[in-house]
Amino acid sequence: MNVGIIKFTIRMPANQSLKDKRKVVHSLCQKLRNTFGISVAEVESNDNLKIGVIGISFVSNSTQILDQIVAQILSYLREHSGDFVLVDFQQDIIAGF
What pLDDT score was predicted for residue 44? 87
What pLDDT score was predicted for residue 70? 92
Question: 2-94 maps to which CATH number?
Answer: 3.30.70.1120
What pLDDT score was predicted for residue 3? 95
What pLDDT score was predicted for residue 47? 81
CB 95 within 8 A of CB 63: yes
Pairing outcome for strands 39-44 and 85-94: unpaired
| Phi and psi, residue 47, nearest 5° | -100, 0
What pLDDT score was predicted for residue 83? 86
Q: What is the pLDDT along the chain (97 residues), one digit of tens a residue?
A: 899 999 999 999 988 888 989 999 999 999 999 999 999 999 987 788 899 999 999 999 988 999 999 999 999 998 887 889 999 999 999 987 7
What pLDDT score was predicted for residue 27? 93
